[in-house]
Amino acid sequence: MADRAAVKVWDPVVRLFHWGVVTAFTVAYVTEDEGLGVHVWAGYTLAALLLVRLLWGFVGRGHARFADFSCSPAVAWRYVKALFSGRARRYLGHNPAGAWMIFLMLAVLAAVTVSGLMVYGADQGAGPLGGMLAGSPEGVEHLWEEIHEFAAHFALVLVMIHIAGVVVASIVHKENLVGAMWHGCKRGEGPGPAGARHGPCGRSATCVLMVLVSATLLLAAWGGGWARADHDEARRRVEAGDIVPLSQIIAAARARYPGGRLLEAELEPAHDGARYEVELLDAGGRVHELLFDAVSGRYLGLESDEFYHRRQGREDDDGWRGGKD
């Protein structure tokens, strides 16, 4: 019987997306605790690749289209059971389990990038969302950090499951699926050029990918620069002493809780320059930690709200550790 001809299955956009995500996610994950600049740009790259893949899932051709491999969870589960029993049907494009992994991975990586932008904007006052999120209460920042870390760790778990599935499917179907994603070819379903209608999109697909990724990265850089300009101006005002007097901030805090006892007030560096943190003890024995923007005096919200007996061991005098009065 004649040899089964190789068929071009994965176009350049799909392949570049796959290996681009592998690279960007790996770089972002290993620079989580250090190298913020590298971490952020790896995140931007990941976001750009996701946008391209979402678009290509609708306007691409052949096995790149979402419609080509969409299936129900029941179909995917039956495929998994058949795979581990060695009786799974071979698919030229994505198999049902792989299809669901793609959709799940796209959703989780989207959560990673969106939460990362939220954290970067709230914590650093930078990025496309920096102008909107700078000066956010630490509770909001912490929430997005937790979401970001959970989504990143969950994505890593999905990667491990994906790798295991690729290894098992490669063994069962006796083909190198990793190599296929590299060069784009798989063996056809039979002799001759069967399936050749799903050939590559050629250089135009690669150009589209490069243009869209570049445009997204430039947009991110522009947004980050705009937010950074506001951030730097606020810092300049703080360094010049052009901030609201402490007495005005304390008066504003006491106006919110009449008769409250001042426990502590301090000037802290913040994403948009600086902010005042004021702790008051109300008549009911509850401690309120209020946040105010040091430049404008705007009330930012409550960072914490707890009963006084939980604060044993901390100073409770009318201490002041910085600021302008």
Reduce the DSSP state of residue 191 to 3 states and report it. Answer: strand
Same fold, 4-234 and 246-320: no
Give the tens place of pLDDT for each residue, 178-190: 888 998 888 876 4
Q: Hey, CA dihedral for 30, 35, 38, 41, is it positive or negative?
A: positive
Within 125-243, residue ranges assigned H as helices are 130-133, 138-173, 177-183, 203-239
In three-state secondary structure terms, 48 is helix
CA dihedral sign, ordered 82, 83, 86, 87: positive
Q: What is the pLDDT of residue 34?
A: 73
pLDDT for residue 248: 86
Specify burial of residue 141 (Cβ count, 10 A radius: 0-12, 13-18, 19+). Answer: middle
Q: How far apart are CA 267 and CA 145, in angstroms?
A: 23
Task: Output the CATH code of domain 4-234.
Answer: 1.20.950.20
Instruction: Walk along the chain (325 residues) in steps of 10 and give the mean pLDDT of each run.
Output: 68 91 93 80 90 87 87 89 85 89 93 89 72 67 88 94 90 88 78 36 53 59 50 57 80 86 78 76 84 82 55 40 41
The string of pLDDT tens digits covering residues 27-42 is 999 988 777 788 888 9
Would you say 48 and 221 are in contact if contact means Cβ atoms under 8 Å apart?
Answer: no
Class of domain 246-320: alpha beta
In the prediction, which pLDDT does 189 show?
64
Query: Can you give the pTM of this predicted structure?
Result: 0.62
What DSSP element (H or E) covers 102? Answer: helix 96-124
Domain boundary assignment for the chain: 4-234, 246-320
Q: Are 184 and 17 in contact (CB under 8 A)?
A: no
d(CA 320, CA 264): 6
What six digits make up the tokens of 122?
């709230």
